[in-house]
Chain A
Amino acid sequence: MAGPTIDALGQFSLTTGLGNLGRAVNFTNSNEAMLGAAAVIVAVFALGLKSKALVPGRAQSLVEMLYEFVHNMCVDTIGEEGLRFFPLVFTIFSFILLGNLLGLFPYFFAFTSHIAVTLALALFVFVFSTGVGFYTHGFKFLKFFVPSGVPTWLLPLLVPIEIISYLSRPVSLSVRLFANMTAGHVMWEVFAGFMLLLTASLGVVGAFASVVPLSLNVALAALELLVAGLQAYVFAILTCLYLHDAVHMH
């Protein structure tokens, strides 16, 4: 049967971006989106820092709100020592947030829907926080895997569980973001494709019937906006939590 089919996953396929130069160095379309996200962040900062007014304007308020939001998140979760990691957490948070948000626009690539990207970010957070733990506590950091106040005979059981749960952190961290973003975009594509299918197979009746998937997509847009912000927040707060564990060991 000829006609439109639902290509739900085509939106995630990687191509090279930036023309011939990009093709030569394997600069992908997802990297284009990352560059866009970073450019938007820097542009918002430049705009917000233009006047440096005592009573901030709109752009300055936006940047200050973002700053204080992540700042408070760092201080509340990690403690005062968390301010060392504030620029890192801010970079990760703003990068993922902008990636999620820009990915919601049609024809924009959602790079957070790639497991390679989210896993790389999560592995970086994992390795970094583990490094901070060993840097702060030395080999005493291994005590982190020995829960206190537990009978000795339970330890052979509990220590492997602790280690497995610790090692599963990057997996859950990366899959959570990847799955949420992929699911949202797949659903969008499926419902949109369904509209084309309805119209192609049922004609005028199908065109009217496609109001249903269209309204579903509108509702889904609101949900995806929420998910985009929420998942960036979850990633950042879990990063803070892991850093808290590394700094305080409990």
Chain B
Amino acid sequence: MRRISTALLLALAPSAALAEGTMPQMDFANPLTLDQVGWMAVILVVLYLLLSRWGLPEIGKVLEHRAGVIAKDLAAARAAKLEADQAVSQLNATIAQARSSAQAEVAKAVAEAKADAAAKAAVLASQLEAKLAESEARIDAARAAALAAIKPVAAEAASSILLKLTGSQPAEDKLAQRLDEALAARKAA
């Protein structure tokens, strides 16, 4: 593109220059051609001083201030995030601790209840056993009493049967002995 425009210049400028004389840019006989450079130097020095002392540092300050504000805000945000993260982890730790302590509490209560129940069951069992033993003893006593009560009745019945059958009174001690034997055999069976 630059090449094209330069080529066009080369094609056009000489003909135009021939028509008009020379290019004003090349007319160094004209004092204005070089004098403009002197004034340009003055203008550029003033512009440079204005820009380097006032314009550019001011813009730099504005940009620096903005960067500072952004950095500060970012740091604050980061700090807040860190704080929030810490709070969350603390909360999580507290929850975990509460859960474990609750579980321990539950386990302890369960163990206590079990032990209690076991103790109560043991007491109840021993009571029942004692009652059972007592009842058995009572049954035994009742049976013994009943057996003891049977003996005179049986002796009387046997002697009266024998009297009727034989007409003689059996010997008291023999009868008693036989009765005892029979009772013992009954008991054994």
- For window 182-217 of A, CB contacts with B under 8 Å fall at 182-184, 186-187, 190
Instruction: Determine whether the beta carbon of B37 is less than 8 Å from that of A117.
Output: yes
State the CA gap A88–B54 with chains docked (Å): 13
Q: What 4 A-B pairs have minimum CB-CB distances, sorted nearest first?
A: A183-B9, A87-B52, A26-B35, A45-B55
- B34 at interface, CB cutoff 8 A: yes
Question: Which residues does B use to contact A, with CB under 8 Å?
Answer: 1-2, 5-6, 8-9, 12-13, 16-17, 19-20, 23-26, 28, 30-37, 39-41, 43-44, 46-48, 50-52, 54-56, 58-60, 62-63, 65-66, 69
- A141 at interface, CB cutoff 8 A: no
State the CA gap A6–B69 with chains docked (Å): 60
Instruction: Determine whether the beta carbon of B16 is less than 8 Å from that of A16.
Output: no
State the CA gap A187–B10 with chains docked (Å): 11
> Which of under 10, 10 to 19, 20 to 34, or 35 or more describes the interface residues of A?
35 or more
Instruction: Determine whether the beta carbon of A186 is less than 8 Å from that of B12.
Output: yes
Q: List chain B residues, Cβ under 8 A from A54.
A: 65-66, 69
- Which residue of A has the minimal Cβ distance to B63? A64
Q: How far is the CB of A86 from chain B (nearest CB, A)?
A: 7
Q: List chain B residues, Cβ under 8 A from A86.
A: 56
Q: A182-B9, A227-B2 are in contact. Are A49 and B56 (CB under 8 A)?
A: no
Additional pairs, 10, CB under 8 Å, beyond known A45-B51, A45-B55: A8-B12, A9-B16, A30-B36, A64-B62, A64-B63, A87-B56, A88-B52, A116-B37, A186-B8, A187-B8
- A246 at interface, CB cutoff 8 A: no
Q: How far is the CB of A235 from chain B (nearest CB, A)?
A: 13
- A126 at interface, CB cutoff 8 A: no
Instruction: Determine whether the beta carbon of B9 is less than 8 Å from that of A186.
Output: yes
Question: Which residues does A use to contact B, with CB under 8 Å?
Answer: 5-10, 12-16, 26-28, 30-31, 34-35, 38, 41-42, 45, 48-49, 52, 54, 56, 60, 63-64, 67-68, 86-88, 90-91, 94-95, 111, 113-117, 120, 176, 178-180, 182-184, 186-187, 190, 223, 227
Q: A42-B47, A67-B56, A87-B51 are in contact. Are A31 and B40 (CB under 8 A)?
A: yes
State the CA gap A4–B26 with chains docked (Å): 25
Q: List chain A residues, Cβ under 8 A from B26.
A: 115
Instruction: Determine whether the beta carbon of B6 is less than 8 Å from that of A183.
Output: yes
Q: A54-B69, A63-B59, A111-B36 are in contact. Are A223 and B1 (CB under 8 A)?
A: yes
Instruction: Determine whether the beta carbon of B33 is less than 8 Å from that of A49.
Output: no
Q: List chain A residues, Cβ under 8 A from B39.
A: 26-28, 31, 34
Instruction: Determine whether the beta carbon of A179 is less than 8 Å from that of B63.
Output: no
Q: A8-B16, A38-B47, A178-B25 are in contact. Are A114 and B36 (CB under 8 A)?
A: yes
Instruction: Determine whether the beta carbon of A91 is less than 8 Å from that of B37.
Output: no
Instruction: Determine whether the beta carbon of A14 is less than 8 Å from that of B63.
Output: no
- Which residue of B has the minimal Cβ distance to A68? B63
State the CA gap A9–B19 with chains docked (Å): 10
Q: How far is the CB of A239 from chain B (nearest CB, A)?
A: 13
State the CA gap A42–B44 with chains docked (Å): 12
Instruction: Determine whether the beta carbon of B69 is less than 8 Å from that of A91.
Output: no
Q: How far is the CB of B140 from chain A (nearest CB, A)?
A: 108
A sample of 24 inter-chain contacts (CB < 8 A) reads A5-B19, A9-B17, A14-B32, A27-B35, A28-B35, A31-B36, A45-B50, A63-B55, A87-B48, A87-B51, A94-B51, A95-B44, A95-B47, A117-B37, A176-B2, A178-B25, A179-B5, A182-B13, A182-B23, A183-B13, A186-B9, A186-B13, A186-B16, A187-B8
